[in-house]
Amino acid sequence: MSRRAPTLEDVAREAGVSRATVSRVVNGIRNVDPQIQELVRRAIERTGYAPNRAARSLVTRRTETVALVVSGAGDTSDAGQNAFAARVFADPFFGRVVGGIVGFLRPRSLHPVLMFAESAEAREEVLTYLRQGRADGALVVSTHADDPLPALLADARLPAVLFARPSRPVPLSYVDLAHRDGAHLAAEHLLARGCRRLGTISGPLDVAASQERLAGFRDTLARHGHPYVPVAEGGFTLDSGITAMADLLDRHPETDGVFAANDLMAQGACQVLRERGRRVPEDVAVVGFDDSSIAVTCRPPLTTVRQPVEEMAARMARLLDEHIDGVRTDPTAVVFEPELVVRASA
């Protein structure tokens, strides 16, 4: 029933030319008589030819595929992996990353293979995948700073680009945000609107970005004469934001301004504040981080530090493409500047 798929040979015969000529037409190489080009094109049409990618890859040593790996640090059992995927995508942040990456890849006919690497075994699989030449390189988004994957990739000399600077230096390109500057913007804004009893819900402190956001917030406040800043550590999830805000409020009921290290936690904070009878922003002002979709849907809409995630993700993909092409050889860091988006919450 399912007949053999037409090959270059078939098209060549049909068009009355050689394989090479058909190949040239398919790959858009010049130096082919327009007449013949048309001839070939029609033959392709008639036969319904589609070039076999495996055969092409075998000789070009390119797959036009990149691994998009979401990487954790842990050594989670395989059972937890399922949940890992779901958890990761629960943060709108990753949707934006994917959007940005796909936006760059697709016009170039590059395709992302989704991989999760939250265990040692899974990391090994990623390496094998690349060494088998199933993908030309890797885009790595780590959920923890001490993720071992980047170093493994660098050691194997496999093309890879990271989202966020790794905690220990690794000779790989990465894109990142000036987190300190973002936290600085948040602090200045809260102070400017008159808040004097500030607290912060940090991200997980084993993540470099969290540390920097916290440090930036503290530094700015210190410079304005607030040496002590109450901190509650969260996990970038909604629940953790809720817990952290409750904790903060218990310890410092007089709090009148909060900086949350991401929007999800900021939303949690708003929920708790409302439940405890505090008006946002009248009684307590809240500033988030990311400017994700929930910043707009949150009640009240969040004043937040905008991270140009899509742009960063696209840039990451571009860097990888350049490394694969050999156009770029040295590891490069690209750091983006955040900006404050003022809405209702502060």
Residues 6+ apart with CB under 8 A from 233: 201, 202, 203, 204, 205, 244
Is 246 a residue that touches a second copy (CB under 8 A)?
A: no
Is 155 a residue that touches a second copy (CB under 8 A)?
A: no
- The DSSP code for 6 is P
Is 304 a residue that touches a second copy (CB under 8 A)?
A: no
Is 4 a residue that touches DNA (CB under 7 A)?
A: yes
- The DSSP code for 194 is T
Q: Which does 42 bind (CB under 5 to 8 A by kind): a second copy, DNA, none?
A: none
Is 53 a residue that touches a second copy (CB under 8 A)?
A: yes
Q: How far is CA 329 from the centre of its chain?
A: 22
Annotate 82-133 with DSSP letters as a single string.
HHHHHHHHHSHHHHHHHHHHHHHHGGGT-EEEEEEE-SHHHHHHHHHHHHTT
Residues that contact a second copy, how many (by CB under 8 A) = 62
- In 34-86, beta strands by DSSP E: 65-71
- Near DNA by CB under 7 A: residue from 1, 13, 36, 258: 36
Is 27 a residue that touches a second copy (CB under 8 A)?
A: no
Answer whether 111's CB lies under 8 Å from 76's CB: no
Q: Min. distance of Cβ 109 from DNA in angstroms?
A: 13
Q: Which does 94 bind (CB under 5 to 8 A by kind): DNA, a second copy, none?
A: a second copy
Q: Is 151 exposed, middle or buried (0-12, 13-18, 19+ CB in 10 A)?
A: middle
- Report the alpha-carbon distance of residue 36 to residue 20 in Å, rounded: 12
Is 92 a residue that touches a second copy (CB under 8 A)?
A: yes
Contacts (CB under 8 A) with a second copy, residues 247-276: 268, 271, 274-275
Q: Say how many Å lie between the first and final Cα of the chain, rounded.
A: 67
Q: Which does 100 bind (CB under 5 to 8 A by kind): DNA, a second copy, none?
A: a second copy
Is 51 a residue that touches DNA (CB under 7 A)?
A: yes
Of 16-24, 177-185, 270-278, 284-292, the segment contacting DNA by CB under 7 A is 16-24
Answer whether 155's CB lies under 8 Å from 275's CB: no
Question: By the criterion CB under 8 A, which residues form the site for a second copy?
Answer: 2, 5, 50-55, 57-58, 63, 65, 68, 78, 81-90, 92, 94-96, 98-100, 102-103, 106-107, 111-116, 122, 128-129, 131-134, 157, 238-239, 242, 268, 271, 274-275, 293-294, 296-297, 299, 310
